[in-house]
Structure 1
Amino acid sequence: MAVTEAERRAMTRALELAVRGPRGANPQVGAVLLSPAGDIISEGWHRGAGTAHAEVDALSHLAPDQARGATAVVTLEPCNHTGRTGPCALALIEAGVRRVVYALDDPGAVSGGGAERLRAAGIEVEAGEQADAARTVVADWLTAGRLGRPHVTVKWAQSLDGRAAADDGTSQWITGPEARADVHRRRAASDAIVVGTGTALADDPSLTARDGDVLYAHQPIPVVIGSREIPATAALHRHPQGLLRFDTHDLRAVLSDLHARGIQRVFIEGGPTLASAFLAADLADEVLAYIAPVLLGGGRLALTDIGVGSIGEARRLRVVERVWLGEDLLLIAHPVTEEGS
């Protein structure tokens, strides 16, 4: 049976509901329940780890048996496993739902398989409605699940001759206001922003995401890697999110810990040493290089040793976007994998 117009409208609504939920270890999911006549009788979304999933949230607003014969429209395949909550596929079966329309298959080896369970119970199932839109909503969650760690963006600003600072260490500001505003927008789209203790001590950064003098509604969690103490008076301690400290040089362990906390997207702003460490460890999924038309000379390079001893060992990148920001140029690049992507 083809997807009806009422079900298409319900999916659009479910996608709007999905983004009300927090980004975290679990995906953002929305659900709409339709009566046999195609009218909306309930809505729900996932409000965070440990809370009811979207389908169960929507069912919770109905009286017993009110969902019997209904159609459930969900942005992600109903789950088929018991974690902190029970399987949504079973909840829909027990509620007497007649039909399920969902956008995107659940890729989880444990959580997937809900559609098969629903069909086995005699429920009509339609998959793929507005799948691309649903994939956009949970893109970071899908990437983090595939990688087993957060997606990592490494950012730096440099002069035309590849310097991150003048010889006396001053670096504010290499780039202009348009480039700096772009950085803050990208900070706001991240879950965590990471620096090393060197940057934390030298620059006393706030690591907030600001639109001019106003904080963005979403603030990335500030993370500092390194063993040196951060003064109690440091701006980082006044960040609206709690500061995370990692006294280690094991970047994979740091990312594993952040992943366990539900952090899906990490923004590395820690200066040449930290940026180079992530690149050397093959932990950069995206590079943002802000290039200003200034010359600084000297030895304060934007990158240090990244493990390249000869030209044959060069880290190849593919530039996916070029953005002019006032007089500055932003190059967005992705590592070239063995498959050439």
Structure 2
Amino acid sequence: MAARDRAAQEALDRRFMAAALRLSRRNAGRTATNPSVGTIVVRNDGGGPMIVGTGVTAVGGRPHAETEALGLAGELARGATAYVTLEPCAHHGRTPPCAVALAAAGIARVVGAASDPDPRVSGKGYAILRQAGIEVVEKVLAVEAAEQMAGYMSRSLRKRPEIVLKLALSADGYIGRRGGGQVSVTGEVARREVHLMRAEADAVLIGIGTALEDDPALTVRLPGLESRSPARVLLDRRIRLPETSRLVAGVDRVPLYIAAAPDAEPHRRAALERLGVRFIGTETVDGAVALPELMEDLAALGMASILVEGGAEVAKAFLADDLVDRIVLFRGPDEIGAGGVASPLDERSIPAGFRKLREMRFGDDMYREWVRDI
């Protein structure tokens, strides 16, 4: 292939893989223990490339994206190219693996993004395809794909979820006001972005201090996305959460897990359990919940991404235990002044090992994001 033709093909591969990555976000946070993968089937009969099938991992984790895309493409899949954001699975269950399904459908070429860290798949999916005579191109937009599936990668490699620490800072560096309840640090546009972040997470986590101070619901309240509310996790070692809280009021729609010590008040636990609250037994160290062990327990429940929203002491604890993988800072234009709660970090004190990923503006508020590689 001539250099010009090779460059054109590489550009085309990046274009369709970028589209597959956008597609994969559709079910982020809704696919149980499986990642949300996107697949696009493209064929060219001489008149230019044409998309003939698309698929995304279904809610609950199955069917996989490849199965969905091949089903839509039908016979048009024969001789086509499949763009897959994660290496096709290679392990057998009651249904054949996706790598075998791609070969059986007559796909001629597979372009993959991220490699699957699952030892049942890693390298084996691509090997099945090559053995079937299919051309395989790996690692197209691999960094972008791995970033998008960081929760799945973390759960597979480190046996814990990806931890995203989100903080909203005032112009003078505070995240709230002591004794003042909820304080609006950022504007409406930025708050909507936070709700989108919740919609793509498996769980939102806060400490009991924030729950008592702010009485939050921690749900997604964007029109049309209410059903995307993730589970709520509360660090409440002594079970102090009132039965009348907004967190408890929503357990019939959105799960609430409380991380409590084994010796916590049994009557308080029983009362909340009767209302539908779920409990996770935790170990304690120096009077605080042992976070590394709790993160392993949450991963065992199928959670791959945790959005930590508050408060300052919880953020400090996650940072101290070196559990934070992504930092998101919103910075509002107004000051809080006297009585403000200082943020545990700001743009000038990001821990070593993090790289700045993006910076955006939402209305009058700035958004900055840092990430560290798995």
Q: TM-score, normalised by structure 1?
A: 0.72
3-state SS of paired residue (2:27): coil
Q: Give, in angstroms, the shift of residue 270 of structure 1.
A: 3.1
Q: Give, in angstroms, the shift of residue 188 of structure 1.
A: 2.8
Q: Give, in angstroms, the shift of residue 189 of structure 1.
A: 0.8
Alignment match of 2:101 (pick from 81, 91, 97): 91
Q: Give, in angstroms, the shift of residue 26 of structure 1.
A: 1.8
Q: Is contact 1:290–1:328 with CA below 8 Å preserved after alignment?
A: yes
C-alpha distance in 2, partners of 1:69/1:189? 38
Equivalent residues in 2 for 1:87-166, closer than 5 Å: 87-113=97-123, 114-131=125-142, 134-135=145-146, 137-156=148-167
Q: Verify: 1:288 aligned to 2:329, yes or no.
A: yes
Q: Give, in angstroms, the shift of residue 110 of structure 1.
A: 2.4
Q: Decide which structure has greater helix share.
A: 2
Alignment match of 1:59 (pick from 44, 58, 70): 70
Alignment match of 2:193 (pick from 182, 185, 190): 185
Q: Give, in angstroms, the shift of residue 129 of structure 1.
A: 4.2
Return 5+ residue gaps in structure 2 as ranges: 261-281, 283-288
C-alpha distance in 2, partners of 1:92/1:160? 53
Taking a change above 3 Å as real, the CA distance of residues 56 and 220 of structure 1, as seen in their structure-2 partners, is closer
Q: Quick one: which amino acid aligns to residue 76 of structure 1?
A: L
Equivalent residues in 2 for 1:12-51, closer than 5 Å: 14-23=20-29, 24=31, 25-34=33-42, 37=45, 40-51=51-62
Q: Quick one: which amino acid aligns to residue 27 of structure 2?
A: G
Q: Give, in angstroms, the shift of residue 325 of structure 1.
A: 7.8
Alignment match of 1:78 (pick from 83, 88, 106): 88
Taking a change above 3 Å as real, the CA distance of residues 225 and 60 of structure 1, as seen in their structure-2 partners, is same
Q: Deviations over 1:170-212 (max 9, x none)?
A: 2542x5442x75255234313122122232233322223446x
- Give the stretch that moved more between structures: 110-119 or 152-161: 152-161
Q: Is contact 1:196–1:225 with CA below 8 Å preserved after alignment?
A: yes
Q: Quick one: which amino acid aligns to residue 26 of structure 1?
A: N
Q: CA RMSD in A?
A: 4.2
Q: Quick one: which amino acid aligns to residue 39 of structure 2?
A: A
Q: Give, in angstroms, the shift of residue 81 of structure 1.
A: 2.0
Q: Give, in angstroms, the shift of residue 106 of structure 1.
A: 2.8
Taking a change above 3 Å as real, the CA distance of residues 122 and 261 of structure 1, as seen in their structure-2 partners, is same
C-alpha distance in 2, partners of 1:326/1:20? 25
Q: Is contact 2:162–2:305 with CA below 8 Å preserved after alignment?
A: yes
Q: Give, in angstroms, the shift of residue 62 of structure 1.
A: 6.5
Q: Quick one: which amino acid aligns to residue 293 of structure 2?
A: A
Q: Verify: 1:246 aligned to 2:256, yes or no.
A: no
3-state SS of paired residue (2:39): strand
* Number of residue pairs the alignment of both structures matches: 321
C-alpha distance in 2, partners of 1:332/1:46? 27
Q: Verify: 1:223 aligned to 2:225, yes or no.
A: no
Q: Quick one: which amino acid aligns to residue 134 of structure 2?
A: I
Taking a change above 3 Å as real, the CA distance of residues 99 and 254 of structure 1, as seen in their structure-2 partners, is same
Match of 2:305 in 1: 265
C-alpha distance in 2, partners of 1:92/1:72? 8
3-state SS of paired residue (1:153): strand
Q: Give, in angstroms, the shift of residue 243 of structure 1.
A: 1.6
3-state SS of paired residue (1:189): helix
Match of 2:275 in 1: none
Q: Is contact 2:230–2:254 with CA below 8 Å preserved after alignment?
A: yes
Q: Deviations over 1:101-128 (max 9, x none)?
A: 3333334332122112211222222234
Q: Deviations over 1:251-285 (max 9, x none)?
A: 22332233334433322233233223222222223
Return 5+ residue gaps in structure 1 as ranges: 304-313
